[in-house]
A = this chain, B = another copy of it.
Amino acid sequence: MNPLNEPPPVALPETGSPLYERLADHYRRVIAAGTLAPGDRMPSVRALMSQHRVSLSTAIQVFRSLEDAGWLQARPRAGYFVRRAPASRLANVAEPEIPSLAEPARYVGLHERISRVIERAQAFPDALNLGGATADAMLYPTQRLQALASRILRRRPTLLTEVGEDGGAIELRQAVAKRALSSGVSVAPDDVLVTSGGVEAVNLALRAVAQPGDTIAVESPAFFGLLQILESLGLRALEIPTSPTTGLSLEALDIASTACPDLKALVVVPNLQNPLGCVMPDARKAELVQLCARRGVALIEDEPYRELVESSEPARPLKAWDRDGGVIYCASLNKVLAPGMRLGWMASGRWQARVRLLKFAQTRHNESLAQLVAAEFIGSGAYDRHLHQLREKLRTQREASADAIGRYFPAGTRLSLPPGGLLLWVALPEGASSDALFEAALPHGIRLAPGSIFSNSDRFRSFIRLSCPAPFDYRIDTALRQLGTLAAELGRSA
């Protein structure tokens, strides 16, 4: 009998904290001491109950708390296991400085730089792509969606040849509205507008609240696609320092919105920010919604990754704290369900009528088949099972890559391991140029995203975004070792 399934009775410290917390602390020490090693199976719930004489609910709370803190991971039908140590050798990415004065807003002029990066990368079509932000097709429910599509086509033979529904198929609007409830967002199907991915949703939101020349606050670093949207709409970007662990700095936003009284909107990714991977704590989410409402700043929430947050409860969007329709919620199914179906949706609060006009005049409605496939999948239990598996796979892939970066990259490299998703934001040692690393890596068959495309400034010139789209294997390990070697060489020559 495995002794780990029957830990010896322990004396818990008699402090004022709840029983489950004291018990969780005990197991943290056991794991940190190596008594339970990464990959080991934890004692079962039943074992915990009998060993520690605690109730079922206390035992479950212990597992939840350890899982939320990243010590354990649940495997379906197999129990809880000790996780790998988080990116052990690497220090966290430094917190940004919050300047006492806001920087000026600037027109975005990034498109050429981004196009050059994309073109260069496409010149190496066989390269290992660690520069994207979407998981491999094999991580999505390919067969199930394909079967659903064929079945729906048989059931609705005129789907491809009849005009679709304005605003989106009612089936999908109902499915996403119902699902949003569990994350604290209450929207009616009529409040939902189906879009061509999250990109169109954010585009429509910005067009609804701002005119060319207006200023929009964004996270810094920000997803380059957002900066391209601002550029395409002739908007100015005001970059707000953003913490790699807790997200957008409310202090900096406060300073900026005072200095820039005609700030029209803030675009923010509160859950698994791209590229940082941070999740804003709930208290800060609530505070942010209030701050924007007070200052009359439209809050555009971009949520491509929320369902990938690894926590026992669904991560909450800012929209859950919205009381006066000031939050435009933009969701996407590209990263969580099916990159090839190009589906997103939005709930536009008080800008709903204007957003509907813009969508109608921009692209009409979406094509119907993908919408019905998504609606049927989301409405079934299969969606939660898929998401659970996807999160587990991404966690394993991310942690293995982080370990490899820790092994291979030069001293001084920093990395904050995010609580979900497939992106790693890596700070190279002082002075290293990520543009140079990007160029040097291509002939070795490796694509990455250089930090220079995530800001209108050159603040992130020493950062790279590495993605973990596929199961970790020898090819990825070799590529990361190669990248580490190149980074070290560039550091020496800098």
Contact with B along A155-166 (1 / 0, CB 8 A): 001111111100
B141 close to A161 (CB less than 8 A): yes
Q: Are A162 and B137 in contact (CB under 8 A)?
A: yes
A132 in the interface, Cβ–Cβ < 8 Å? yes
Q: Are A164 and B342 in contact (CB under 8 A)?
A: yes
Indicate if A403 sits at the interface (CB-CB under 8 A): no
By the criterion CB–CB under 8 Å, are A363 and B157 in contact? no
CB A165 to nearest CB in B, in angstroms, measures 10
A157 to B370, CA, bound (A): 14
- The answer to whether A340 touches B367, judged by C-beta atoms less than 8 angstroms apart, is yes
Least Cβ distance of A361 to chain B in Å? Answer: 4
- Give the number of copies in the complex: 2
**CB–CB A364/B342 < 8 A:** yes
A340 touches B361 (CB 8 A): no
Residues of B close to A340: CB separation below 8 A: 158-164, 367-369
Q: A340-B369, A363-B203 are in contact. Are A163 and B150 (CB under 8 A)?
A: no
Inter-subunit contact A367/B367 (CB<8 Å) = yes
Query: For A134, what are the chain B residues with a Cβ–Cβ distance below 8 Å?
Result: 163
Main secondary structure of the interface of A (DSSP, over half): helix
Q: Which residues on B sit within 8 Å (CB–CB) of A370?
A: 160, 367, 369
Q: Please determine whether A231 and B361 come into contact, CB atoms closer than 8 angstroms.
A: yes
Q: Which of A194-202, A308-316, A450-458, A485-493 contacts B (4 or more CB under 8 A)?
A: A194-202
* Cβ-defined contact, A153 with B160, below 8 A: no
Q: From residue A333, how far is it (CB to closest CB) to chain B in Å?
A: 11
A181 CB to nearest chain B CB (Å): 26
Whether A442 is near chain B, meaning CB under 8 Å from some CB there, is no
Contact of A357 among B111, B145, B360 (CB under 8 A): B111
Q: Is the CB of B140 within 8 A of A149?
A: no
Contact A160 B142 (CB under 8 A): yes
Closest chain B CB from A154 CB (angstroms): 8
Q: A142 — which chain B residues lie within 8 A by C-beta?
A: 157-158, 160-161
Residues on B with C-beta less than 8 A from A234 are 211
Determine if A203 and B362 form an interchain contact, defined as CB atoms under 8 angstroms apart.
yes
Is A2 located at the chain interface by the 8 A CB criterion? no
Q: Given A212-B211, A340-B369, A225 and B160 touching (CB < 8 A)?
A: no
Judging by beta carbons under 8 Å apart, are A360 and B149 in contact? no
- Chain A 183-203 interface 0/1 with B at a Cβ cutoff of 8 Å (1 = within): 000000000000011011001
A232 proximal to B (CB < 8 A): yes
Residue of B nearest to A142 (CB): B161
Contact with B along A356-398 (1 / 0, CB 8 A): 0110111111111110010000000000000000000000000
Take A142-B161, A160-B142, A161-B141 as given contacts and tell me if A363 and B232 are in contact as well, using a CB distance cutoff of 8 Å: no
The answer to the question of A229 belonging to the interface, with a C-beta cut-off of 8 Å to chain B, is: yes
Which of A's residues lie within 8 Å of B, judged by CB? 111, 115, 132, 134, 137-138, 140-143, 145-146, 149-150, 153-154, 157-164, 196-197, 199-200, 203, 207, 211-212, 225, 228-229, 231-234, 338-342, 357-358, 360-370, 373
Q: List 23 A–B pairs whose Cβ atoms lie within 8 Å, in order of A's numbering.
A: A140-B160, A142-B157, A142-B158, A142-B161, A145-B161, A146-B160, A149-B153, A160-B341, A161-B339, A162-B339, A164-B339, A197-B364, A199-B361, A199-B362, A199-B363, A199-B364, A203-B361, A203-B363, A233-B361, A340-B367, A340-B368, A340-B369, A342-B365
Extra contacts, 4 of them, besides A142-B160, A149-B150 (Cβ < 8 A), are: A132-B163, A161-B338, A196-B366, A211-B212
